[in-house]
Protein backbone atom coordinates (compact mmCIF):
# COMPACT_ATOMS: atom_id res chain seq x y z
CA UNK A 1 0.00 0.00 0.00
CA UNK A 2 1.41 3.40 -1.00
CA UNK A 3 0.92 5.07 2.38
CA UNK A 4 3.19 2.50 4.05
CA UNK A 5 5.88 3.30 1.47
CA UNK A 6 5.59 7.08 1.94
CA UNK A 7 5.49 7.16 5.75
CA UNK A 8 7.47 5.30 8.39
CA UNK A 9 5.10 2.94 10.20
CA UNK A 10 1.86 4.96 10.04
CA UNK A 11 -1.11 3.97 12.15
CA UNK A 12 -4.29 4.00 10.08
CA UNK A 13 -7.74 4.10 11.63
CA UNK A 14 -10.73 3.25 9.44
CA UNK A 15 -13.61 5.05 11.14
CA UNK A 16 -17.21 4.14 10.32
CA UNK A 17 -20.55 5.29 11.67
CA UNK A 18 -23.35 3.71 9.62
CA UNK A 19 -26.00 3.83 12.35
CA UNK A 20 -25.63 7.57 12.82
CA UNK A 21 -25.87 8.23 9.08
CA UNK A 22 -28.95 6.03 8.91
CA UNK A 23 -30.62 7.85 11.83
CA UNK A 24 -29.77 11.25 10.32
CA UNK A 25 -31.28 10.18 6.99
CA UNK A 26 -28.02 10.38 5.06
CA UNK A 27 -28.19 6.69 4.18
CA UNK A 28 -31.14 4.32 3.92
CA UNK A 29 -31.02 0.83 5.48
CA UNK A 30 -29.56 -0.87 2.40
CA UNK A 31 -26.97 1.87 1.85
CA UNK A 32 -25.97 1.75 5.51
CA UNK A 33 -25.45 -2.02 5.35
CA UNK A 34 -23.47 -1.74 2.11
CA UNK A 35 -21.34 1.07 3.57
CA UNK A 36 -20.46 -0.95 6.68
CA UNK A 37 -19.70 -4.08 4.65
CA UNK A 38 -17.44 -2.13 2.27
CA UNK A 39 -15.49 -0.38 5.03
CA UNK A 40 -15.14 -3.65 6.96
CA UNK A 41 -13.89 -5.40 3.83
CA UNK A 42 -11.23 -2.69 3.35
CA UNK A 43 -10.04 -3.28 6.90
CA UNK A 44 -10.05 -7.07 6.46
CA UNK A 45 -8.16 -6.85 3.16
CA UNK A 46 -5.49 -4.68 4.78
CA UNK A 47 -5.14 -7.14 7.67
CA UNK A 48 -4.87 -10.07 5.25
CA UNK A 49 -2.06 -8.21 3.46
CA UNK A 50 -0.20 -8.12 6.77
CA UNK A 51 -0.94 -4.48 7.51
CA UNK A 52 -1.24 -4.75 11.26
CA UNK A 53 -1.07 -0.96 11.50
CA UNK A 54 -4.67 -0.66 10.23
CA UNK A 55 -7.42 -0.46 12.86
CA UNK A 56 -11.24 -0.38 12.59
CA UNK A 57 -13.36 1.89 14.76
CA UNK A 58 -17.13 1.72 14.45
CA UNK A 59 -18.56 4.70 16.28
CA UNK A 60 -21.69 4.32 18.36
CA UNK A 61 -24.71 6.59 18.66
CA UNK A 62 -24.60 6.93 22.45
CA UNK A 63 -25.13 10.64 23.15
CA UNK A 64 -24.52 11.38 19.45
CA UNK A 65 -26.31 14.61 18.47
CA UNK A 66 -28.27 13.72 15.35
CA UNK A 67 -29.58 17.16 14.49
CA UNK A 68 -27.90 20.02 12.74
CA UNK A 69 -25.98 17.91 10.23
CA UNK A 70 -25.34 19.66 6.91
CA UNK A 71 -25.20 17.85 3.57
CA UNK A 72 -24.22 14.54 5.19
CA UNK A 73 -21.58 16.11 7.43
CA UNK A 74 -21.83 15.87 11.24
CA UNK A 75 -22.64 18.98 13.24
CA UNK A 76 -20.05 20.56 15.55
CA UNK A 77 -21.70 18.80 18.50
CA UNK A 78 -21.55 15.44 16.70
CA UNK A 79 -17.90 16.12 15.80
CA UNK A 80 -17.13 16.62 19.50
CA UNK A 81 -18.74 13.25 20.27
CA UNK A 82 -16.78 11.60 17.45
CA UNK A 83 -13.54 13.19 18.70
CA UNK A 84 -14.13 11.82 22.20
CA UNK A 85 -14.72 8.31 20.84
CA UNK A 86 -11.67 8.54 18.57
CA UNK A 87 -9.47 9.76 21.42
CA UNK A 88 -10.59 6.93 23.69
CA UNK A 89 -9.96 4.42 20.88
CA UNK A 90 -6.45 5.76 20.23
CA UNK A 91 -5.60 5.66 23.93
CA UNK A 92 -6.79 2.03 24.14
CA UNK A 93 -5.29 0.70 20.90
CA UNK A 94 -2.15 2.84 20.64
CA UNK A 95 -1.13 3.64 24.23
CA UNK A 96 2.53 4.10 23.35
CA UNK A 97 1.63 6.68 20.69
CA UNK A 98 -0.40 8.69 23.19
CA UNK A 99 2.60 8.82 25.53
CA UNK A 100 5.29 9.61 22.94
CA UNK A 101 4.07 11.08 19.64
CA UNK A 102 0.84 12.86 20.63
CA UNK A 103 2.38 15.11 23.31
CA UNK A 104 4.90 16.33 20.73
CA UNK A 105 2.17 17.24 18.24
CA UNK A 106 0.22 19.15 20.90
CA UNK A 107 3.26 21.31 21.67
CA UNK A 108 3.53 22.54 18.07
pTM for the structure as a whole: 0.71
Domain residue spans in the chain? Answer: 2-107
- The CA dihedral of 51, 46, 90, 58, to the nearest 10 degrees, is -160
pLDDT in tens, 5-64: 666 678 888 888 766 666 666 677 788 788 888 888 999 999 999 988 899 998 887 788
- Residue 37: the pLDDT is 87
pLDDT in tens, 59-90: 887 788 878 877 777 889 988 998 899 889 99
Residue 97 pLDDT > 70, yes or no? yes
27: left (phi > 0), else alpha (psi -120 to 50), else beta?
Answer: beta
- Residue 1: the pLDDT is 54
Bridge-partner residues for 66, per DSSP?
A: none
Amino acid sequence: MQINEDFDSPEIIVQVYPQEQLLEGVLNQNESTTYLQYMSSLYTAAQMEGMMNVHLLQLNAIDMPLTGWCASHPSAAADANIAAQLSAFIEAVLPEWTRTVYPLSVQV
